[in-house]
A and B are shown apart, each in its own frame.
Chain A
């Protein structure tokens, strides 16, 4: 009886491994096809710019407002802790480093997954459900090149831009609360920041992070839509998976990149 259970569990494990490997392989092959399609897009920039508008511009409000408020909160909380050690002048440095290195790329990626990621998944999933992708295939047009690749390239470009906007707004918000509201010295705010934030090590690495996040989140969103079951429940499940997988992936990648960059 017991050995039966063990055998069954091990068989389940083996089947899970086999299925996972096949799925990963399929995902990777699709990624390669999308990247190939993306490389060909320089001949048709309008496809990318249209998507850039839907993915980038429509995310602006949430990114800018969130950035501003995160900056506000950072300044408040930071001042509270720093003033206990008489280092309130380092507030600018605290706000800037937190945003540039971590909060900018990570929070932008999470918000992006929620806003742009889910809309990409839903759009592509519904196109699949309405047989639009099959119709495109029958018209001898590869939907991976025509539909998926432009969205992938657009997401890849939009993410770093949004992250920088988030960070800039955050620092602005930190300035408003720290200097204007609380009264930290304006000169110290900026000069400590400029002395401590390195162009390549901090800002550069932050941009690299947001590019990597853009790659991951956009691909996950597009792939989940492409593989969704063509039913309402299928699309709903796919959008949920996009948010969950993207968020976990971003946080995990953040850990790996931080360890590599900032040791």
Chain B
């Protein structure tokens, strides 16, 4: 099977407001796929739907042909063993050290002897460049470093699917480059499939094999980064080149300014 994840006709509502409407996405094995769009477009929601943290209103999400299980079910927990997720702010366990954070999934799911576990954790930390910070607590390291630790934790069990929720948000240019590099290298080294949710065009296009553009609950464009750069679709153009004017409005929808100021409309 060429697609690890298949999303078919997916619909999801945020309260009463429809967020996603009958969208279709495919995530082929061993590829890095970026899902991009403006804030609030539903990109993070797609990750949570794949991870089973949310349940779709309609449609299906399939992992290697199997529908994602209901929340709390054994089937879902088994499927999650194949996934690793990097949350936007790391979501490290603040009462544990860096070492213990990365060791956590290993301790819970395997019965490795202490020495082997110790070496494995240090190797994972070494892959993200933080082996010498192993004894520190999350409060003692910077946000960028915390995110790298979270990445090491997400890949601790060598998952088939790695999901990144806004991995570049709030990072300095050097850290951004380092992180992008890591995402690509890890994907290739582990033979995994990566889904990258971001609105950073430059970094994402450097490492992604395929891109989906999400706007107002629909997939408005998809293709390779090169194709997207050259695309003439108005939304893609506004997004990729960072233009102020385009299909995405600047003003929050509602009354006109004239009306608010009590003047007659021209």
Contacts and interface: CB of A to CB of B under 8 A. Distances in A.
A138 B93 CA distance: 14
A139 B108 contact: yes
Contacts of A135: 85, 87, 91, 93, 150
A110 to B, nearest CB: 27
A115 to B, nearest CB: 19
Interface string A126-163: 00001110110111111000100000000000000000
B81 A131 contact: no
B51 A130 contact: no
Given A130-B94, A131-B89, A132-B93, A138 B104 contact: no
B147 interface: no
Contacts of A140: 77-78, 80-81, 109
* Interface range on chain A (Cβ under 8 Å from partner): 10 to 19
Given A134-B91, A135-B91, A141 B108 contact: yes
Contacts of A138: 51, 53, 80, 83-85
Contact of A131 (B78, B80, B91): B91
Interface of A: 130-132, 134-135, 137-142, 146
Contacts of B80: 137-140
Question: Interface centre among A132, A134, A137, A139, by most B CB within 10 Å?
Answer: A139
Interface in B65-102: 72, 77-78, 80-81, 83-85, 87, 89, 91-94
B105 interface: yes
B210 to A, nearest CB: 23
Nearest to A33: B72
Contact of A134 (B87, B94, B104): B87
Contact of B91 (A130, A141, A142): A130
Contacts of B93: 132, 135
18 contacts: A132-B92, A132-B93, A134-B91, A135-B91, A135-B150, A138-B53, A138-B85, A139-B104, A139-B108, A139-B109, A139-B153, A140-B77, A140-B81, A140-B109, A141-B105, A141-B109, A142-B77, A146-B108
A71 B22 CA distance: 69
A50 B118 CA distance: 22
A139 B78 CA distance: 10
Contacts of A134: 53, 87, 91
A130 B85 CA distance: 15
